[in-house]
Structure 1
Amino acid sequence: MNKILVTGSNGQLGSEIKYIASNYSFEFVFTGAAELDITDRSAVWSFFQSNQFDAVINCAAYTAVDRAETEVERADSVNHLAPRYLAEAAKEFNLKFVHVSTDYVFDGETFRPYSEDSIPNPKSVYGLTKLKGEEAILQSGLTNSAVIRTSWVYSTFGNNFVKTMLRLGAERPEINVVVDQVGTPTYARDLATCILDILPKLSNSKTEIYHFSNEGVCSWYDFAKAIMEMKDLVCKVNPIPSIQYPTPAKRPFYSVLDKAKIKSDFNVEIAYWRDSLAQCLRQTS
């Protein structure tokens, strides 16, 4: 396996794959919407007919969770139809395939870590479109493929919670952050490393679902507090309930992911969330 197509390469995860690409012996082709419109089925087929790949990593996603409540068609096109088209092409050309999904496929109404066998029940348009994308891949008949669900992704690249907290922490004396939504932050570089490490090992007769986040559990409030403390920002973080911070899309109150399967199948070692946050912050202004 030598040549890998990475779609959505300008996002957080795609940018982190670019950053670590030189650590691997693969040949990478990175595409964004300008190079390949994955929501256009004919464009996808034409691209795969004109280029030879051994594997595809789909990092593309519509991630504007609140805006998705009104931009339903656009969210569905990127999160559902595009993965379907990519999976169909990967099936036709016998390619390995990795697709990244989300903890938002769950309703967050339980308080035990979600395993791959847990029943999805999304409460937002974003979560629903991501689930439909998963289902399209599972129904494609792909082999040597994986759907990897992750949560609370941040990076040195792009816009994310960490970047927002650093900006607000420098601008304001205090901020309010919800304390009753619990999950696990995921450093996109850790996820990128995991994907590239397991990709050559994928050998299955059907698409497998895996969960990956960093280790540990925290609330958004805990996450924000850690960011302020690690960067020596004097901004006070006030814990508030979600009811005091209403959003168009409903978020899961609990979305901790059980990672036993990916650790067992691929001998993956996963870093503690605070350790990975510290690593990211050392590279973030």
Structure 2
Amino acid sequence: MKIFLFGSSGMLGRYVYSVLIKNYNVKCINRNQYDIVNDNDNIDKLNESLFDTTNEDIIINCCGIIPQKTKQNDYKTYILGNTLFPHKLESISKEKNARFIHITTDCVFDGKTGNYNEDSLHTACDLYGISKSLGEPNDSTVIRTSIIGEELFGKKSLLEWVKSNKNGEINGYTNHYWNGVTCLTLANFIKTMIDNGNFWKGVKHIFSKNIVSKYDLCCYINEIYHLNIKINKYEDTNAKNMTLTGEIEINKSIYEQICEINNNIKLT
């Protein structure tokens, strides 16, 4: 069995690769082989990157166009990368009778109510959230979650932002609520899922058992990484509750998951 991994150089993809490569034959599809935006019209190039896929294989999509690295009004890039590309991968996986795992985001919701389940109405009003919502395939294994982790490139994630303020001072939102998972936790979940052959069709949420504020999250990172940051409690004028509920609850606390990232894995 081979695992074809798209987005292996991104934040999540590097964790997924580092976990799966210990037990599986992982083939990373890089941008030279297929660029999800610039090669959008070249279906032959996409097929070529997956030419030796069989019915025993798995395709994992960790790619995504994110607002931290893309202009808010870049409609073409968001739609090509977040909406059309996942559906193309699903189509190819069906043709080859391979499994397809797609990772999507809690940002399909606007955060006004929280406690969103798999059937909650998508309420995103921004281009990123809408493009991700439209890009969720119906007949593949779709994981909807929210993640934090370390990055080798870009350094745009929340965790990297907190780390970049070592010995400094930041504000932490006390009324932004979250119960996502770390990239390492999600990567380990995907490995266990593959080990056990536990695939499904449609969307399932993966989330942590405890709910924290962004202030709490910043405090955890500060403590675990020994950053010596002064973190001020800050109440945003627009409260946000992005919490998820559903079938798959991770028992480890968010604090424990961040400790695991710091202690147990070195990205390459």
TM-score (norm 1): 0.82
Deviation readout 1:35-80 (Å, 9 max, x if unpaired): 22234251223333x2224110000001225844222211111101
Work out whether 1:281 is the aligned partner of 2:246. Answer: no
Work out whether 1:239 is the aligned partner of 2:233. Answer: yes
Report the equivalent of 2:197. Answer: 201
Work out whether 1:221 is the aligned partner of 2:208. Answer: no
CA contact (8 A) 1:152 1:184 kept: no
Work out whether 1:164 is the aligned partner of 2:161. Answer: yes
CA–CA distance in 1 between the matches of 2:148 and 2:228? 24
- Deviation, 1:29, is 0.5
Residue pairs, 1:70-219, within 5 angstroms: 70-111=73-114, 113-134=115-136, 137-138=137-138, 142=139, 145-155=140-150, 157-158=152-153, 159=155, 160-170=157-167, 172=168, 174-199=169-194, 200-204=196-200, 207-219=201-213
CA contact (8 A) 2:8 2:30 kept: yes
- Deviation, 1:168, is 0.5
Report the equivalent of 1:9. Answer: 8
CA–CA distance in 1 between the matches of 2:182 and 2:66? 16
Q: CA RMSD in A?
A: 2.3
Counterpart AA for 2:228:
V
Report the equivalent of 1:46. Answer: 48
Gaps of 5+ in 1: 244-250, 264-268
Which of 29, 32, 41 is the aligned partner of 1:31? 29
Gaps of 5+ in 2: none
Q: Which has the higher helix share?
A: 1
The 3 A distance-change label for structure 1 pair 283 and 3 is: closer
- Deviation, 1:189, is 1.1
CA–CA distance in 2 between the matches of 1:193 and 1:110? 29
CA contact (8 A) 2:178 2:213 kept: yes
CA contact (8 A) 1:8 1:14 kept: yes
CA–CA distance in 1 between the matches of 2:209 and 2:185? 11
- Deviation, 1:232, is 3.2
Aligned length: 257
CA–CA distance in 2 between the matches of 1:21 and 1:29? 11
Q: Which has the higher strand share?
A: 2
- Deviation, 1:221, is 1.1
CA contact (8 A) 2:107 2:124 kept: yes
CA–CA distance in 2 between the matches of 1:97 and 1:202? 12
Counterpart AA for 1:209:
V
Report the equivalent of 1:248. Answer: none
Sequence identity of aligned pairs in percent? 24
CA contact (8 A) 1:80 1:132 kept: yes
The 3 A distance-change label for structure 1 pair 186 and 203 is: closer
- Deviation, 1:156, is 5.7
The 3 A distance-change label for structure 1 pair 228 and 203 is: closer
Report the equivalent of 1:262. Answer: 248
CA–CA distance in 1 between the matches of 2:60 and 2:239? 26
CA–CA distance in 1 between the matches of 2:25 and 2:5? 11
CA contact (8 A) 1:184 1:217 kept: yes
CA contact (8 A) 1:68 1:75 kept: no
CA contact (8 A) 1:5 1:28 kept: yes
**Secondary structure of residue in 2 paired with 1:257:** coil
